[in-house]
Structure formats: structure tokens, C-alpha cells
């Protein structure tokens, strides 16, 4: 398939050169499968095979783009797409800066993170995997929900500035398994991210669900008092908060526009906990990485925070062009965010529950519907979901109703961090909006942060 | 093409499918322009076409979609195979509520097709808006235009054939500024729907100009204001935030698939149970809410849903009592069977998909609150002893069963003894859904009622972004915690 894609892009490139126009071409192909479960049944079993082409035309400081869903056989349609973008660019207004046209200095081809075994898992195999995880855990009232999403994703690009192509193909899977009580409305969840088929581990998913079910089926949920808690966050909550931190923290363009909790003078300063190290590391295959960006800049390990010291903003090409900055190789569909593990030896939820504790600890595995209350101060809000537990200092464990946390990310990753688990894992943060874009963040399994305020506590689910 | 679709549907019926439908999109096109601080950052267009096939086999759904129409056999077989495997795990076999099979056409009202307006005219509009927003104190200014047009041909195995052409225009303005402590604040204008159509003619330069000046003025007020106090007060919600309150804590909570547990893996459930219909006091007697897909000028109106059911105007909450839900053909059958009573009399016509490659699910239409008898905005302010007037959505976060919420607004003005005293910044309010709606103490008259739109409501897996509307009046709620 690679040859046909590159051949087609080259034909389109030659067409543009013959017309005497400047364009970049961005090609995306996805073969997506999703099996969705609800009420212990398969509520939807779907697949889409889609090819998208986006043509960006440049004319001096002017830029316009045209996107289409197409097929490799429809070369004439694609040529018309080039014509349309080139017609549009004539009528737009020049930018106040000169937009960069992508140039690839040499061919960039990366097929190392593609596992056909994962991308083409059959319907029967996916159903079998789910059955293995939940066998015997469902009851008349405890129902299975979840997804098994897998697929193949290809991004290719070329521009009129050079004959060298850009081509990256990856395989991915996202598994999310929820067991929910249909009358009492509690929910517990376990999730997994896979880049290769061998990353899938039914036993691990099952063990976490069994531990949570033990507490949720035996204990009576309680409304916990408002106030300050020492909180252990699970991987999902950590990943979500890191996503928001990189959005309203590390993005140089947003900082320039006043939409960031970090300022230029913070570079080189200790802003976070010494235990906190956060990097963009495209060498980690679990993050479905891009080792070159779409403007041809090689991508290497890029420290954002090292031992609490803020190191650098990331600059997308267009923001770098506008604000006269050097681009940092971050113009890719997603980054390879990795938070370093700490010193605490905790490999499973069971280990956390067994650990002796000198104070009550609230365990929040997942934060639902997070949003930014005040970007300048880094304040976010969200509610606990999917298996929160209150670990009492006397060793007992209580099931709490969901609670709301409204907090600054500068505090969450700041000096209030008590410890960070040593072990890290990829947490799949893919959304299925628009074109497939498998994404995951490497995060510690657990992180304990002391003295955070719970601002709302439910009296039911 | 339609004949080929019908042949394929018949072929799968012969293989044992109990129901098959097809949505063929001959085209769906978009055009977006975005000007940021005078730079036309985005000028983009797109066009796609393709076909989505939904098959019901032994009580289970299979779906498949492709942009490649050259091999329909393979596409329909894939959808059938997906259903065949899904049928291995069925707990409640899917049944579809009765409907009439119809042949029909719908075209959304539009006097000027935005795809026939020149790029130069669109750019000129944005330049004028940018010029008006370019004022001292404004650090970021954004003007945007977004146009969509699609043709959908729906054919099902029950004999329906429906053709729709839907055009929508979304335009918006936003300004940002920094206060003396470096805190960022914003103010937006997403124009309420006026008139009886939804094409380019809705881009009324004078209306936009007046509101451009207003949002700059209100942003400057906010930048100078003191922080919103932490307090318990009456909150008076203008349509610019009332629409979101309605969206998040009535609309999503009353989607029947959520109520039945079909979104537990992702979007969440609902605190509402089947037992609550006809009984639950959702809000005070002043609250009457409806799902009205027959309004002319909003993206929540579409003629026929993607089950082929005609658009309807249904009560959801009648004088405070929960009576209806947002539903499609599948969910009403399951709900009635599980409740062992006929709560719902057929589909409410609200099953929609965002694209040919997505499957239809329960989506809001226009979820409206009826105007009330408590007068104009001025009357409501005059009758408020200690309150806060709020407008503009800035942040929103809702519990997974829609049981509680936290909203931040762009603008807030304290109200003391019947008059507005001063603006505040960083205004927020929070609450628990049912107690909040039960504290509804005033509902503005028709002069306060505006039709707002939502251009990006997300739901489902694979995820779907949907457009819809909310016709809402000014409302007042008592004893609400603000400022946290
Ligand atoms: Zn929504």
C-alpha cells in the first residue's frame, strides 16, 4: 500500500509543479474497527475505511486549504482538490507573517510501529478477549459496558518544495471495560492501551476489576464530608490532568495569547515538585510516536519539566512563524508525552490498598468531564468516576459517592506531591472525533498529592 | 444509485437481516474562515461523500461505512458480518418502534446558499468585525464563519425513502483581555437565531456590529472588576448561559440511551430512571421544557431523523414533572419493555448521525424552555433582593450521571435590592441538578426568549459532534453557591 500512496502523492506533486503552484499535501488513511458493549451486549459493531487528503496552497503570505474524503483511484478528484485550494488562495488575505512551506530534507518512512496482528484482529478475537476479562463477573444487575477499538493509521505528506515524502503508519488498540450496577448506578472500570497485539493482557484487566468489584459489591457507598484530602490519583486521572497541563501550560502559542498558566520568565525556574519530570519522548513506541514533524524537523527527546524546573515551551510551526520563534518539532497530530516514574513501589491497585497509611487517603482513578475554570491560574474542575475508594487509616476501605475537585494544576503537580509510583504504563487518551489519531501518555500508575480540596460531594450516584 | 441501494437492502433481507437502512451522502461540504488578531489564520473547505449501512440481524446491530461506492457488495456484506458477530452477545434483542414508511423531501430554509457567496465577501465581513473588535484592552480578537451543506438520501427495508438537504451557518466573535493580575478573561458573541431561515442572509452586519461593540464593552468591565464573592445568592441566567444549563442538565440527562445505560462506557449515564417518568418533580412548577425539532431557523431541525421518523415537538417536563425523553425507535421499545408499561408512544424522532460513517444515536433536537409569566429581564432584576446576573459560557463540567454541575461564566453583575450594582470577574456557580431546577423562582416572558445554538455537542463512540439548538428565556434560581 505504501508504494501506491507515495506514487499517488508524487503524481499530485508533479501536477502542482506543472501548474506552477506551491502546495503541501497531507494524506490520512484509517481502517478503524470498534466493538461497543452496553447492558452486557454488543450494542454496536462498526468499521470505517476512510482516506482523507488535505491540500494546502501557498501564495506569498497567503494560505488556504481544501480537504476531501477520497480514494486512491480517484486521482482526478484529488487534482481538482489542488485546483480548488489554488483558486481559494488567490482570494484570501495575506498573513502578517510568512507561513513556512514544509520541506523534507530526506525521505522519512517509519513503519516500525505497525503490527498487522493487532490492526486486523477479527471480530471473534475481540469478543473472545472481552469474554475472557469479564467471564463470571456479570450478574443480572451488574452489566458490562465498554469498547474494543483497534485499527491502522497512516499519515503521509509531500510538498512541492522537495521530492522526499513523509510516511508513518501505526497500529493501535484501546480497550475500556466497565462494570456498572444497573440499579445502584455505581461503575468500575479497567483500561488498556496497545500498540502491538502482545500488549493486550486480559488477566491484568480482570484483576483490577475483581479488586474493585469486591469493594463495590460488599460496601455501602457513603457521601464523604467536604474538606481537604490526601488523594492518590490513578493513571487515567493523571493522564487527563497532564493533557490539560500541556494544553494550558507548555504551548508557546497559547502562552503568547495569554491562555497559559506559565510565563516566559518561568523558563529555568522551579515551578513544580522536584519529583515531577515530564518529557516529550518519541522514542517510546507506546505513544504511537512521530519521529519527524510535518515540517521535516526531526523529533528527539524534548524535556518540558525536569525535577520540577520548567524547561521550554513547545512551538508549532504556525505559531513559531507568527511570533518569530524557532519551531520545536511539535507540529504533529500528537506528542509523545511521558511523565517519569518516582520511587514508590506499587504495581497494582491491590498493592495500594494493602499499603499501611498514617492518614485517610482518597483514591481517584478517573476524572470525568474535566474543564478549565481559569487558564491563567491553571485551575481545572472535574468529578471522580469509575471506582473511587476512601482508604481509611485504620486499614478499612469505604466506597464514596463521586466528588468534585476544583484545583490548580500547578498545585497538583507542585510541592503537594507526596510520592509518585515507580512503575509507568501507557494510558490511551485517543478520542474518536474525526480522523483516527491514536494517542497515549506514559504515566505512573499512581501519584499521591496531599491536602487537596473536595468542593462538592454527591449524596448518590 | 438508489436502485442499487434497494437491491443490496433486499439481498441482506434475503440473508436473514430483519432490518436494513442506508444513508447515502452524495455530498457534504464545509467552508470555514477564522480571523485572529487581523490574520486570516484559516481558510479551508472540505467535501466528502459516501455511504453508511446499518443492519439488524438476530436482534443485534452491525454497521459499515465507506467512501468507495464501487464495491457495494463488500460494504453490505461487512455490515452484515458485523451484525452476525454482535448477535453472539445479545441480552435484549433490538426491536424498532412502529413508524409509517414514507417518501418525503426536506430542505432547510435558506434564502442565500452560503456556498454561492464569494470568498471575498466572507473575508470582507471578517475584516469589518476584526476592525470593530480591535480596541484598547483587547489582547485577542477572533471572528469566525463556518458553513455546512449536505444532501442525505435515506432508504430503509420498510419502504421509506427520504431526501434531505440541510444548510447551516455558524458565525461567532470572541475577545480576550488580561486583568491587572495577568488573569485572562473572555467574552463571546454567538448570535441567537432570528428570522425564519438559516442561510447566509442570517449574517446581518448591523446586528453583528452592535454586538461586537457590546462584547468589547463588557470585557473591559470584567477586566476592571473585583473577584466574584463566595456566597449563596439568586442567580439570574441570561440565555447565553441558560442554554448551556438546559443542554447539560436537561438535554443530556433525558437522552433515553443514556438513561438505559448505553453510554456508560464513555459519556455517562443519567440520574433519571424509567420509574421517574410521570412522577419525578424535576423542577418547580414554572419549568416546562420541550424537544422541538420543528423550529425553522436552528440546526436542531432536520425534517426527518436518521430512523426516517418525522420531526416532532414533544414535552419533556410539564410544569415541573418529568414526562418525556429524547428518543429513537430502538430505545423506546426497550424502555417500555423494561418498565413493563407504555411510557413512550413511539419514537420522538431524535436519532441522528453526524456523518455517513457514523451510526445514528439519540441526539438533542431543540431542547427549549417555555417562556414564563415573570416579565422582562428588568422586571426579574427589580424583583431580586440579593442576586447575580450571569451570561456567557466559559467553562462547564458535569457529573457523569448529570446529577451535579459546575459552570464558569464570562460575565457577572451583582444585583442588590432590585438593581444591578457592579460587575464581577471569574464568576462561577455550582449545584445539584434536581434541587437546582426546583429552586427556579422566575421565568422571563417571550421578550427574554432566545434561540441559541450548540455547534459541537460530543457524544458516542466512535465520537460524534452534533449541531442543535436551545430556545430559552431568562431564568432565576434561588440560593445557589457562587464564586467557588
Ligand atoms: Zn452536549
Neighbours of B121 (CB within 10 A): 12
A38 grid coordinates: 452496553
A44 contacts in chain B (CB < 8 Å) = 61, 63, 86, 359
The distance from CA B366 to its chain's CA centroid, rounded to whole angstroms, is: 7
**Interface check B29 vs A, CB under 8 A:** no
Residue-number span of the structural domain to which A291 is assigned: 221-457
**pLDDT given at position B394:** 96
Contact A49 B178 (CB under 8 A): no
Phi, psi values for residue A309, rounded to 5°: -90, 125
Report yes or no: B204 and B181 within 8 Å, Cβ to Cβ: no
Please, which pLDDT band fits residue A1 given cuts at 50, 70 and 90? Answer: confident
In B116-183 the beta strands, taken as DSSP E runs, fall at 140-156, 161-178
Q: Which of A445, A417, A370 is nearest to A270 (CA)?
A: A417
CA nearest to B404 within chain A: A458
Triad B328, B329, B330: Cα angle to 5°: 100
Q: How many residues does chain B have?
A: 484
Looking at the structure, tell me whether residues A419 and A390 fall in a common domain: yes
d(CA A337, CA A282): 8
Contact present, B51 and B65 (Cβ < 8 Å): yes
Beta strands in B238-300, from DSSP E residues, in sequence order: 289-292
Element containing residue B186 per DSSP (H, E):
strand B184-189
Given CB atoms, is A433 within the 8 Å cutoff of chain B?
yes
Question: Quick one: pLDDT at residue B126?
Answer: 98
Here the cell at position A398 is: 469505604
Helix or strand holding residue B13 (H, E): helix B2-14
Task: Quote the pLDDT of residue A185.
Answer: 87
Q: What is the predicted pLDDT for the residue at B475?
A: 98
Asked if residue A272 and residue A139 are part of one domain, the reply reads no
**Residues A227 and A202 both lie in one domain:** no
Inter-chain residue contact A383 with B430, CB threshold 8 Å? no
| End residue of a domain, out of A212, A232, A253 | A212
At A184, the pLDDT band (50, 70, 90 cuts) reads: confident
Contact flag A455-B484 (C-beta cutoff 8 Å): yes
The C-alpha cell at B3 is 436502485
Listed residue (B226, B252, B244, B231) closest to B188, CA to CA: B244
Residues of B with Cβ-Cβ distance to A37 under 8 angstroms: 89, 265
- Mean pLDDT in residue range A171-183: 95
CA of B10 to the centre of ligand 1 (A): 37
SS in 3 state form for A229-290? EEEEEEHHHHHHHHHHHHHHHHEHHHHHCCCCCCCHHHCCCECCCCCCCEEECCCCHHHCCC
E-assigned strand segments in A307-365: 309-310, 337-339, 361-364
My answer on whether A131 and A200 are in the same domain is yes
Residue A433 pLDDT more than 80?
no
Separation in Å, CA of B282 to nearest CA in chain A? 16
What's the gap between Cα A70 and its chain centre? 27
Split into its structural domains, chain A has a count of: 2
CA of A40 to the centre of ligand 1 (A): 25
Mark which of A182, A212, A242 sits at the end of a domain: A212
Minimum Cα–Cα distance from A383: chain B residue: B399
**Alpha-carbon distances, residue B183 vs A252, A374, A412, B222 (angstroms):** 17, 8, 20, 11
* Same-domain check for residues A207 and A229: no
Measure the CA–CA gap between B164 and B379, rounded to whole angstroms. Answer: 43
Tell me which residue in A124, A402, A406 faces B484 most closely, judged by beta carbons.
A406
Q: Quick count: other Cβ atoms within 10 Å of Cβ A95?
A: 18
Low-confidence ranges of chain B (pLDDT < 50): none
CA A244 to chain centre: 10
CATH number for the domain whose boundaries are B2-224 = 3.30.2290.10
* Cβ–Cβ gap A182/B403 under 8 Å: no
Residue A430 CA to residue A125 CA, distance in Å, equals 22
Chain B residues in contact with A185 (beta carbon < 8 A): 269, 271, 401
In B, which residues are within 8 Å of A66 by CB distance? 44-47
Query: Which of A45, A209, A316 is best to mutate for the B interface (most B CBs within 10 A)?
Result: A45
- A291: distance to nearest CA of chain B, Å? 27
* Cell numbers describing residue A360: 485517610
The partner residue sitting opposite B397, judged by closest CB among A95, A370, A377, is A370
User: What integer is the mean pLDDT of A300-311?
Assistant: 98
Residue B383's pLDDT is: 98
CA distance A413 to chain B (A): 20
Q: Does A49 touch chain B (CB under 8 A)?
A: yes
Ligand 1 center from residue A381 Cα (angstroms)? 17
Q: Which residue has the cell 463477573?
A: A137
pLDDT, residue B265, reads: 86
| CA A20-A22-A23 angle, 5° bins | 125
My answer on whether omega of the bond before B462 falls inside 30° of 0, hence cis, is yes
The CATH number given to whatever domain includes residue A177 is 3.30.2290.10
Could you tell me the distance, in angstroms and rounded to a whole number, from the CA of residue B245 to the centre of ligand 1? Answer: 11
Interface test mutation site (partner A, options B79, B265, B280, B401, max chain A beta carbons within 10 A): B265
**pLDDT tens string A187-222:** 999 999 999 999 999 999 999 999 999 999 998 899
Q: What is the pLDDT of residue A296?
A: 97
Q: What is the pLDDT of residues B219-259, one digit of tens each?
A: 999 999 999 999 999 999 999 999 999 999 999 999 999 99
- Nearest-Cα distance to chain B for A146, in Å, is 5
Chain A residues with CB under 8 Å of B67 CB are: 50-51, 69-71
- A163 to chain B, any CB pair closer than 8 A? The answer is no
pLDDT for res A431: 86
Least CB–CB distance from B67: residue in A45, A69, A149 = A69
User: For residue A334, what are the CA distances in angstroms to A159, A292, A301, A430?
Assistant: 21, 12, 14, 10
A87 φ, ψ (degrees, to nearest 5): -70, -45
Residues 173 through 212 of chain A touching chain B, CB cutoff 8 Å: 176, 178, 180, 182, 185, 187
Confidence of residue A460 (pLDDT cuts 50, 70, 90): confident
Centre of ligand 1 to C-alpha B314, Å, is 19
Q: How far apart are the C-alpha atoms of A348 and A204, rounded to whole Å? A: 9
Q: Does A175 share its domain with A225?
A: no
CATH 3.30.2290.10 domain residues, chain B: 2-224
Asked whether residue A393 falls in the same domain as residue A247, the answer is yes
**Which residue is it, cell 515524502?**
A165
Q: Mean pLDDT, chain A, as a whole number?
A: 96
Range list of β-strands (E), B281-403 = 289-292, 313-318, 321-322, 351-352, 361-362, 367-369, 386-398
| Cell numbers for A327 | 519551531
Which residues on neighbouring strands pair with residue A379, listed in sequence order?
A374, A408
* Mean pLDDT for the stretch of residues A33-45: 94
Tell me whether B264 touches chain A (CB under 8 Å).
yes
- Cell numbers that stand for A388 in this block: 473511587
- Secondary structure of residue B241 in the 3-state scheme: helix
Residue B428 Cα, gap to closest chain A Cα (Å): 8
Q: Given an 8 Å threshold on Cβ–Cβ distance, is B265 in contact with A460?
A: no
- Residue B336 has a pLDDT of 98
DSSP letter for A224, please: P
- Rounded to whole angstroms, the Cα distance separating A58 from A100 reads 9
Q: What are the cell numbers at B140?
A: 485577542
Is there a contact between B254 and B282 (Cβ–Cβ < 8 Å)?
A: no
Closest CA to B251 of B394, B407, B365, B404: B365
Of the three residues A159, A190, A212, the one that is the final residue of a domain is A212
Which residue in the set B61, B181, B265 is minimally distant from A45, CB to CB? Answer: B61
How much is the pLDDT for B80? 98
Question: B262 — contact with chain A (CB < 8 Å)?
Answer: yes
B326-337 tens-digit pLDDT: 999 999 999 999
* Extended strands (E) in A378-445: 379-385, 389-391, 397-398, 403-408, 417-420, 424-428, 440-444
Same domain? A353 vs A442: yes
**What's the pLDDT at A212?**
96
A91: number of Cβ within 10 Å? 15
Residue of B nearest to A381 (CA): B397
> What grid cell was written down for B60?
443485534
Residue A241 has a pLDDT of 98
CA distance B397 to chain A (A): 5
* Nearest-angstrom CA–CA distance, B430 and B407: 6
Contacts of A192 (CB under 8 A, 6+ apart): A173, A174, A175, A199, A200, A201, A204, A205, A428
The verdict on A270 and A190 lying in the same domain is no
Do residues A419 and A428 make contact, with C-beta atoms less than 8 angstroms apart?
Answer: no
Amino acid at each position: 500500500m505504501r508504494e501506491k500512496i507515495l506514487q499517488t502523492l508524487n503524481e499530485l506533486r508533479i501536477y502542482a509543479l506543472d501548474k506552477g503552484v506551491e502546495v503541501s499535501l497531507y494524506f490520512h488513511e484509517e481502517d478503524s474497527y470498534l466493538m461497543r458493549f452496553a447492558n452486557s451486549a454488543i450494542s454496536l459493531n462498526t468499521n470505517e475505511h476512510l482516506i482523507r487528503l488535505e491540500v494546502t496552497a501557498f501564495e506569498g503570505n497567503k494560505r488556504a486549504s481544501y480537504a476531501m474524503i477520497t480514494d486512491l483511484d480517484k486521482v482526478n478528484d484529488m487534482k481538482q482538490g489542488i485546483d480548488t485550494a489554488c483558486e481559494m488562495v488567490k482570494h484570501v488575505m495575506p498573513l502578517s507573517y510568512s507561513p513556512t512551506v514544509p520541506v523534507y530534507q530526506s525521505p522519512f518512512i517509519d513503519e516500525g510501529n505497525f503490527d498487522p496482528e493487532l490492526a486486523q484482529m477479527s471480530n471473534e478475537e475481540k469478543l473472545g478477549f472481552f469474554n475472557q476479562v469479564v467471564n463470571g463477573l456479570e450478574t443480572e444487575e451488574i452489566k458490562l459496558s465498554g469498547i474494543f477499538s483497534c485499527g491502522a493509521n497512516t499519515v503521509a505528506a509531500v510538498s512541492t518544495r522537495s521530492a522526499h515524502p513523509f510516511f508513518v503508519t501505526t497500529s493501535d488498540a484501546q480497550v475500556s471495560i466497565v462494570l456498572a450496577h444497573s440499579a445502584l448506578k455505581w461503575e468500575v472500570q479497567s483500561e488498556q492501551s496497545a500498540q502491538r497485539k502482545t500488549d493486550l493482557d486480559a488477566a491484568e484487566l480482570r484483576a483490577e476489576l475483581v479488586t474493585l468489584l469486591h469493594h463495590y459489591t460488599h460496601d455501602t457507598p457513603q457521601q464523604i464530608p467536604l474538606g481537604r484530602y490526601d488523594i492518590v490519583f490513578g493513571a487515567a486521572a493523571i493522564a487527563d490532568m497532564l493533557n490539560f497541563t500541556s494544553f494550558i501550560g507548555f504551548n508557546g502559542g497559547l502562552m503568547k495569547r495569554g491562555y497559559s498558566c506559565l510565563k516566559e520568565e518561568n523558563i529555568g525556574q522551579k515551578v513544580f515538585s522536584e519529583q515531577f519530570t515530564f518529557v516529550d519522548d518519541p522514542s517510546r513506541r507506546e505513544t504511537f510516536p512521530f519521529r519527524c514533524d510535518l515540517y521535516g524537523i526531526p523529533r528527539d527527546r524534548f524535556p518540558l519539566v525536569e525535577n520540577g524546573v520548567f524547561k521550554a515551551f513547545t512551538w508549532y510551526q504556525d505559531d513559531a512563524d507568527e511570533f518569530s520563534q524557532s519551531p520545536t518539532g511539535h507540529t504533529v497530530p500528537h506528542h509523545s508525552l511521558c511523565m517519569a516514574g518516582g520511587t514508590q513501589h506499587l504495581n497494582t491497585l491491590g498493592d495500594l490498598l494493602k499499603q499501611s497509611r498514617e492518614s485517610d487517603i482518597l483514591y481517584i482513578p478517573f476524572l470525568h468531564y474535566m474543564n478549565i475554570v481559569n487558564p491563567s491560574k491553571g485551575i481545572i474542575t472535574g468529578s471522580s468516576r469509575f471506582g473511587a475508594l476512601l482508604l481509611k487509616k485504620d486499614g478499612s476501605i469505604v466506597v464514596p459517592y463521586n466528588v468534585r475537585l476544583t484545583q490548580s494544576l500547578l498545585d497538583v503537580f507542585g510541592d503537594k506531591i507526596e510520592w509518585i509510583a515507580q512503575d509507568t504504563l501507557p494510558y490511551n487518551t485517543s478520542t474518536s472525533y474525526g480522523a483516527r489519531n491514536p494517542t497515549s501518555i506514559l504515566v505512573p500508575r499512581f501519584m499521591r498529592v496531599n491536602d487537596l480540596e473536595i468542593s462538592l460531594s454527591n449524596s448518590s450516584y | 444509485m438508489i436502485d442499487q441501494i434497494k437491491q443490496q437492502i433486499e439481498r441482506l433481507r434475503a440473508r436473514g437481516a430483519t432490518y436494513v437502512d442506508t444513508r447515502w451522502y452524495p455530498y457534504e461540504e464545509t467552508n470555514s474562515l477564522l480571523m485572529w488578531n487581523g490574520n486570516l489564520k484559516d481558510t479551508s473547505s472540505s467535501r466528502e461523500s459516501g455511504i453508511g449501512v446499518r443492519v439488524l440481524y438476530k436482534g443485534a446491530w452491525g454497521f459499515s461505512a465507506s467512501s468507495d461506492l464501487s464495491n457495494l457488495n463488500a460494504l453490505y456484506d461487512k455490515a452484515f458480518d458485523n451484525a452476525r458477530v454482535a448477535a453472539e452477545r445479545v441480552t435484549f434483542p433490538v426491536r424498532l418502534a412502529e413508524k409509517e414508511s414514507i417518501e418525503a423531501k426536506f430542505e432547510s430554509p435558506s434564502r442565500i446558499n452560503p456556498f454561492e457567496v464569494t470568498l471575498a465577501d466572507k473575508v470582507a465581513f471578517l475584516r469589518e468585525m476584526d476592525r470593530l473588535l480591535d480596541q484598547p484592552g483587547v489582547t485577542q480578537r477572533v471572528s469566525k464563519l463556518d458553513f455546512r451543506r449536505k444532501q442525505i438520501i435515506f432508504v430503509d427495508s420498510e419502504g421509506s425513502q427520504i431526501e434531505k438537504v440541510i444548510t447551516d451557518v455558524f458565525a461567532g466573535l470572541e475577545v480576550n483581555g488580561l486583568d491587572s493580575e495577568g488573569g485572562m478573561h473572555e467574552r463571546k458573541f454567538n448570535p441567537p437565531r432570528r428570522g425564519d431561515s438559516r442561510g447566509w442572509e442570517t449574517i446581518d452586519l448591523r446586528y453583528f456590529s452592535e454586538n461586537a461593540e457590546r462584547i468589547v464593552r463588557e470585557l473591559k468591565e470584567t477586566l476592571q472588576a473585583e473577584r466574584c464573592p463566595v456566597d449563596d445568592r439568586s442567580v439570574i441566567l441570561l440565555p447565553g448561559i441558560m442554554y448551556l444549563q438546559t443542554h447539560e442538565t436537561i438535554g443530556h440527562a433525558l437522552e433515553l440511551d443514556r438513561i438505559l445505560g448505553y453510554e456508560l462506557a464513555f459519556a455517562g449515564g443519567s440520574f433519571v430512571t424509567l420509574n421517574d417518568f410521570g412522577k419525578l418533580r424535576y423542577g418547580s412548577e414554572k419549568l416546562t421544557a420541550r424537544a422541538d425539532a420543528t423550529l425553522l431557523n436552528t440546526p436542531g431541525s432536520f425534517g426527518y431523523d436518521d430512523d426516517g421518523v418525522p420531526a416532532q415537538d414533544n414535552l419533556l417536563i410539564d410544569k415541573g414533572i418529568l414526562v418525556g425523553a429524547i428518543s429513537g425507535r430502538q430505545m423506546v421499545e426497550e424502555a417500555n419493555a423494561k418498565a413493563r408499561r407504555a411510557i413512550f408512544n413511539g419514537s420522538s424522532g431524535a436519532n441522528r448521525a453526524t456523518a455517513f460513517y457514523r451510526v445514528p444515536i439519540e441526539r438533542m433536537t431543540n431542547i427549549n424552555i417555555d417562556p414564563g409569566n415573570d416579565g422582562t429581564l428588568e422586571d426579574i432584576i427589580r424583583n431580586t433582593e440579593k442576586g447575580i446576573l450571569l451570561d456567557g459560557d466559559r467553562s462547564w463540567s458535569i457529573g457523569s450521571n448529570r446529577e451535579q454541575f459546575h459552570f464558569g461564566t464570562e460575565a457577572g453583575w451583582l444585583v442588590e435590592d432590585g438593581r444591578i450594582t457592579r460587575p464581577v470577574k471569574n464568576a462561577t456557580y455550582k449545584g445539584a441538578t434536581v434541587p437546582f431546577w426546583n429552586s427556579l423562582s422566575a421565568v422571563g416572558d417571550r421578550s427574554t426568549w432566545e434561540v441559541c445554538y450548540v455547534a459541537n455537542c460530543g457524544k458516542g463512540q466512535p465520537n460524534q459532534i452534533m449541531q442543535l439548538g436551545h430556545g430559552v428565556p431568562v431564568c432565576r434560581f434561588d440560593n445557589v453557591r457562587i464564586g467557588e
